[in-house]
Structures are given as structure tokens and as C-alpha cells.
């Protein structure tokens, strides 16, 4: 199982998160995800070592977010 440490909490694929804010201007589709919850489906590391999370929403759409845009929901 793949996991990363984020704000002193472990991120695990399948974990529920909520989109708490957006770092930059985004298309309407991404901006509409603000406040919605989704599941972590994957991770990416950028060339400057930033962590990007792939989040899947209830409509099965998948969007990439920076870790600071998300909040982990406790089970």
C-alpha cells in the first residue's frame, strides 16, 4: 500500500479528503469541486518534489490537487 506523510498524518490511497481551497485560478469544473469530498486514488511527485494527489469524486471524475488544497476527513 502506498502512503505519504502530510501535515503529520499519513495519506493512504482510498482515504477520504475534502477540497478546502484552491491555490491558483482553475477552470470552472475544478473550482466547482471546492468543498466536495472525494477519495485519494493516486499520487504524483512533480519535478520540484511537490506532492500532487489524484482525487476521485462521486461522479467518477478524477482531478489532481496539491496537498495544501486538501483536508483529510477522519473516518
The pTM score is 0.83
CA 67 from centre of chain? 6
Query: Which residues, in sequence order, are bridge partners of residue 64?
Result: 54
Task: Specify whether the CB–CB gap between 26 and 72 falls below 8 A.
Answer: no
Task: Specify whether the CB–CB gap between 55 and 63 falls below 8 A.
Answer: yes
Please give the tally of structural domains in the chain: 1
pLDDT digits (tens, 9 = 90+) for 39-61: 999 999 889 888 899 999 999 99
Domain boundaries, position 54: 3-72
Torsion, Cα of 42, 34, 29, 51 (10° steps): -30
* CATH number of 19's domain: 2.30.30
**Cell numbers at 60, concatenated:** 467518477
pLDDT digits (tens, 9 = 90+) for 16-29: 999 999 987 778 88
Amino acid at each position: 500500500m502506498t502512503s505519504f506523510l502530510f501535515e503529520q498524518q499519513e495519506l493512504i490511497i482510498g482515504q477520504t479528503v475534502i477540497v478546502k481551497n484552491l491555490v491558483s485560478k482553475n477552470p470552472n469544473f475544478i473550482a466547482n469541486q471546492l468543498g466536495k469530498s472525494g477519495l485519494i486514488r493516486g499520487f504524483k511527485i512533480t519535478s520540484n518534489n511537490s506532492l500532487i494527489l489524484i482525487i476521485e469524486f462521486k461522479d467518477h471524475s478524477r482531478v489532481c490537487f496539491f496537498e495544501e488544497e486538501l483536508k483529510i476527513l477522519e473516518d
